[in-house]
Structure 1
């Protein structure tokens, strides 16, 4: 039935089993992109906040957690969507559209070293991150805070996924799972680094 609809030029709907919101269809327009962009900027400067050629889907509003009362005695975790993994990516974390998250032990580790850790993220140029993985997962700085007594202690493992192209529903699930795991481990705060 869906093939017949397509052949006649009809639009498929969810009832036909269509999953995506809309197909990308090229179309001719009267103005070039540069002219349309200038017009959009002028409309925005004039107060129009609705006009767009690329509508963005809605996002959740997440209420921030209350501040940690005694950070100097708190257990703090490191979590990231920067896809930091052991060199060679032995657990095969995706570089985009994550379906899972991983955890790695950091007890006794003071710093993430190049050649031992790498970012496999597909959403940004990873050269600087791979030269010094602490840029995207600040273990070295967190250990300094721990030694100075600014935080109680660092949680013994970090949690990682990749944010690049990950669906909001999947990211929401990761957040719920991370929060449950961290609560169970007695963690009071987390430092989430994002790319």
Structure 2
């Protein structure tokens, strides 16, 4: 190859390398967080509140939860929960009806309780915090829901399926959300602090 052809070849090689530096590299995006389905037969949303001295417990029978969670991909993880307040069950029908009335939850006007996360952070081994907005009645507050990842494994009863467990424990003040009107805002009979517990068993197709 004569000198002219060698110089042309060298010039083309330099131009190719230089141009390649400006071509966007197709970097693979991080995988999405795992989408989990709630096994409601083995999940529960319950609460406890004091009546004078005695804790009274109850639960919400109807709810939906949209969980996208991967401890290795918290940026794309999220927890969204919607509770149907009319499904409240304290084992006393008359009390359940009273709680749905305007004295407390005003179910006709505010039928749902919702939580929507905007960030999930890690606090320790299998310990996380879901940061987001909790809405009860006409009040929305920024809250931090601590939760524990109980474990992830192959489902022993379902082939090609993963199973995971999550538990959330949180305490809130009902008066912060206007749950208790007039005389019922007093904490002399019904306490102000409510202990909320959410236990979720979840499944997802195994990769």
TM-score normalised by the shorter chain: which range applies? under 0.3
* Higher RCO (CA < 8 A, seq sep 6+): 1
- Report the structure, 1 or 2, having the larger strand content: 2
TM-score (structure 2 length as normaliser): 0.25
- Report the structure, 1 or 2, having the larger helix content: 1
